[in-house]
Structure 1
Amino acid sequence: MQFPKIPTRTKSSKILILVPSFICVLYLLASALLLRVSRHVYIHSSLSEGMYAPTTLDHIVFGISSDKNTWQKQKEYVRLWWKSHQMRGCVFIDSLPSEEYANNDNTSLPPVCISEDTTRFRYTYRGGWRSAIRFARVVAETVALNHSDVRWYVFGDDSTVFFPENLVKTLSKYDHGLWYYIGTNSEIYDQNRIFGFGMGFGGAGFAISYPLAKVLAKNFDSCIERYPHLYGADSRVYSCLAELGVGLTHEPGFHQVDVQGNTFGLLAAHPVTPLVSLHQLDQRDPIFPNMTTKKALEHLFEAVNLDSQRILQQTICYDKWFSWTISVSWGYAVQVFQKHLFLPDVLNVQETFRPWKRGNVLAGVYAFNTMNIDPDPCRRPTVFFLDTLSSGRNGIRSNYKKSYQNCSYDNFSPKKLEVIRVFSHKLELDIKQLQAPRRHCCDVLPSSAGKVMEISIRECKEEEFIHMH
């Protein structure tokens, strides 16, 4: 019996059958891929929104180094800047505070934490203090507090005065997901030569981004075992970060203030960047005359609370009628020079202070440009210190009163002035202005003929040069 011959499929018929199957498979694969991609995009965008939302104080955790003896005094300076409802962190001391502290109202201060024992670590620096090890370990112990949603850890001494809003603005320039170590070094060349130009000095305070701090804390104890010969806590932190391959990112808004005496010259010539910190002001002359250090700082914070980002920002303008040069350090002081000075010369720091140490040829060598002050007070610029401030719909008005000196003057002398009024608007810096800062301009208003001078601060025009017209 012969079966009928079944016709064989041609090549074209095979293709016709396979094409729909292949398209179906492609469709299923594409659908699965699209679902996966869309799911990834949604998750990524959600994470990005959280990761790149504006940095606030809620994202920062502070670690403050202190001890039970100094904390009783220094806490009053910390109280000036600490915001209990927004800030997280701890002040680390060596042992339990006194009953007097327990009975005080400490709701406006950071919580007190007791440092762990450090007797197992060697310390061989002759003439130094073993507390440097405990202070260094504040970094690891602050991370161990295990706070959530942290972007930055910020460390400082109990004598470090932070300016919180400006700290947030400064850190917001940087990607907190990367490894950053941010701070500044000393104003004194010799201090930097000894301890390192790349070290963030602890008195000025420094910031470490979250991922870097986690890695550092995990290996910190084993690292500092290698550095018993170092003097301070900040040297140990710097050395361990250097071993991780991370260098210091310099931010000039942090200030170690390694000088003695009158800090007027430093403050009046602040760089064009938000003021982030000041250190050990209780060991310097009060920043305002005829006040205690604490009262002077409280007075400064009146301006800080009104316009934090503009505080100490230096603006230069010229009175063409009298050929005067005027330097406004907003919220602090106004200086009127009785002559025309080129702008770069006005930006130099006046040496109103003394070196931190004496007897060393390098002690008076500073890490910035300086200018000498005239030994005759009557030949110095006339200085007007902040008196009062007010804010309204038209902006902010700050009044500055003359710091009196018994000097004779003629009708063309700025010493006849009694008050300077400065008009400005609240400074709100965006990320571009923070990354590429530009000094503001100011105009002397027509009222300068009498005992009152009025000045208006504004943004400079696009192609405007600041010079005597």
Structure 2
Amino acid sequence: MSLQTYQLMVKQRFSQLLPGGPSRAMAVSGLLLLLFYVFSFNYWSSQDHSDLHLPFAHKWRAWSSGGTNTDPPTNLSHIVFGIVGSLKTWKGRKAYLESWWRPNISRGYLFLDGRPDNESLCPYTCPQILINEDIRKWKIYPLLKYPVSVRVAWSIVEAFRQGDNDVRWYVIADDDTVLFMDNIVQVLSKYDHTKYYYLGASSESILSNVYMSFEMGFGGAGFALSYPLVVAMAKKLDGCIKRYPNMWSDHLIYICILDLGVAISRQKGFHQIDLHDNIAGFLSSHPQSPILSLHHINVVDPIFPSMNRSESISHLMKPAGVDQSRLLQQTICYQREKNWSISVSWGYSVHIYETAVPRYVLQMPIETFRPWIKNAKWPMFMFNTRPAKNDPCETPHWFFFESIESENKDVFVTTYTRAEKRRLSPCSLGRNHSADRINRVQVFSPVKTRLEAGRAECCDVVSLSDNTTTVRIRPCMEAEEIAIV
């Protein structure tokens, strides 16, 4: 029914019912129409229109499709990486960035505070190098307590101002951070990029979170910002810096995002690595979530024996280049005849214990590392740990990743070799079945990625030779009993 027809019907009906004739009816009908418009407007405005803050292209896409996001799945081309470094340290960190960057495929920028010399440039193996805006020209500069922190935060705006097309996410990290791009794509594809999202993770050390914030994404580990959120930050960040001139970079970014009404969406896998010494215990019991980043790799010990830091990272990227979804994911199985427990951290390490150790124990990292802040008191970490001991029943035989190859079109073989002799007597609880003679572990895993398998993975110990243990990873059966029996 048209609006004109409706008005005519109202006039006729009220001219019949009300005294005063057509003029009285017209006045009443006008009043009713006014009330109709008021109530209709109030109803419409009371609905959730969270997409109104989006760029016009996003709003049109949502409305024209009936409110359903019909975008194709997020892929690497939809992400811009903003890597922040310093001229003083860049030359020693270049190898870390080169280990994961994909020239002519990934998009992003390396922000430095000055132009590096030709020797430290990497025109083909790194992101485009941009020099940060000189914030010393800002009027507020004398009031800034941490100018370097403001430069880091402002890099987000400078990355946005490059004007890249078809961007859904900005991922920000430091130049001493290794990123795992396939896993990042997989994680970001789960979120609606047309809404405000701030994805990040806390520090591993409790005191780091106490000094900064438990609700903050640590920037060294890296965090991801959806495109609409970065649009809003580009408009508001300068005003936020003026409100909080005394804040450190990660905390400043967190507070500015919070002022926009956006809280963090916690995402496991971003690793600040606020730890010292040997992090092999941490990496060998990685949480059951895709690894997204490793920060502070220039501070901790090399993650592989007999290699330096850059060699270690390049070595880790070999299995990462084959299947990042399975990298560092822990799979546990038991050899009943020997009473052994075997823990596989795919692409990194294998542990053999000479007794049956419960899964809940094996999933706790061995404390081979120290907290970030010296003299920290217990509790020190944001996760449960178990102490490193010399007890032959609680100390594993360590094997580290050596190589990966394809056995056939369906199976990959990763080989792990012993780091050093354990130099302990056999475990009496394990019926004295020593694993000292084992020098190599071979792990057979499906070519189909962990994501494609669509279910949890289990493993079987399929053979024991004189010096080699063979393990096969497979999808867990439905309702499979995986407890120790």
TM-score, normalisation: structure 1: 0.84
Partner of 2:436: helix, strand, or coil?
A: helix
**How far has the Cα of 1:54 moved from its partner?**
1.5
SS at match of 1:253: coil
Aligned 1:342-353 pairs, distance under 5 A: 342-353=358-369
Q: Confirm or deny: 8 A CA contact 2:410 2:447 kept in the other structure.
A: no
1:203 corresponds to: 220
Q: Secondary structure at the match of 1:168?
A: helix
Aligned residue for 1:237, secondary structure, equals helix
Find the aligned partners of 1:185 and 1:41 in 2 and give their Cα distance: 35
Q: Residue 116 of structure 2 is aligned with which of 59, 72, 97? A: 97
1:186 and 1:41 map into 2 onto residues whose CA distance is 38
Distance 1:196 1:65, change over 3 A: same
Q: Separation in 1 of the partners of 2:62 and 2:310?
A: 52
Question: Which of 389, 406, 409 matches 2:404?
Answer: 389
8 A Cα contact 1:123 1:228, kept in partner: no
Matches within 5 A, 1:189-268: 189-230=206-247, 232-268=248-284
**Once the 2 structures are TM-superposed, how far is the Cα of residue 461 of structure 1 from its aligned partner?**
1.1
Shift of 1:52: 2.5
Matches within 5 A, 1:447-462: 447-448=463-464, 450-462=466-478
SS state at 1:91 partner: strand
Aligned with residue 437 of structure 2, among 404, 412, 416: 416
SS of 2:191's equivalent in the other structure is coil
User: CA offsets, 1:49-91, max 9 Å, x none?
Assistant: 8x53111110001111112121222121100111121111211
Structure 2: where are the runs of 5+ without partners? 1-59, 427-431
CA distances 1:354-378 after superposition (whole Å, capped 9, x unpaired): 111213435x610001100104689
1:139 — aligned with what? 156
Amino acid at match of 2:446: H
Q: Which residue of 1 aligns with 2:46?
A: none
In the alignment, the residues of structure 2 paired with residue 394 and residue 140 of structure 1 have an alpha-carbon distance, to the nearest angstrom, of 45
Contact 1:187 1:256 in 2 (8 A): yes
In structure 2, the residue matched to 1:68 is 87
Q: Distance in 2 between matches of 1:259 and 1:357?
A: 8
Q: What are the ranges of 5 or more consecutive residues in structure 1 without an aligned counterpart?
A: 1-39
- CA-based RMSD: 2.4
Q: Say whether residues 1:274 and 2:290 are aligned partners.
A: yes
Report the TM-score when normalising by structure 2.
0.81
| 1:380 counterpart = 2:380 | no
CA contact (8 A) 2:325 2:451 kept: no
Q: Does 1:292 align with 2:311?
A: no
Equivalent in 370, 377, 386 of residue 371 of structure 1: 386
Please give the per-residue CA displacement for 1:113-139, whole angstroms capped at 9, x wherever unaligned. Answer: 11112223357687xx42111011111
SS of residue matched to 1:112: strand
What residue is the counterpart of 2:166 in the other structure? 149
Supply the distance in 2 between the matched residues of 1:276 and 1:417 (Cα, whole angstroms).
32
How far apart, in 2, do the equivalents of 1:178 and 1:408 lie?
Answer: 56
Higher relative contact order (CA 8 A, sep 6+): 1
Q: Tell me which residue corresponds to 2:14.
A: none
From the superposition, tell whether residues 124 and 375 of structure 1 become closer, same or farther in structure 2 (CA, over 3 Å): farther
Once the two structures are superposed, residues 270-323 of structure 1 have per-residue CA deviations (whole angstroms, 9 ceiling, x without a partner) of 111111100021211110101111111111111111111111000011111111
Change (3 A) 1:125 1:338: farther
Q: What is the CA distance between 1:450 and its match in structure 2?
A: 2.9
Amino acid of the residue matched to residue 90 of structure 1? Y
Distance 1:155 1:377, change over 3 A: farther
Q: What is the CA distance between 1:229 and its match in structure 2? A: 1.9
Q: Secondary structure at the match of 2:350?
A: strand
Task: For residue 413 of structure 1, report the CA deviation from its aligned partner.
Answer: 0.9
What SS does the aligned partner of 2:347 have? coil
Verify the 8 A CA contact 2:410 2:448 in the aligned structure 1: no
| Among candidates 56, 78, 83, match of residue 97 of structure 2 | 78
Q: Partner letter of residue 426 of structure 1?
A: V
Distance in 2 between the 1:42 and 1:263 partners? 46
Equivalents in 2 of 1:367, 1:340: separation in Å?
Answer: 27
Paired residue secondary structure (1:136): helix
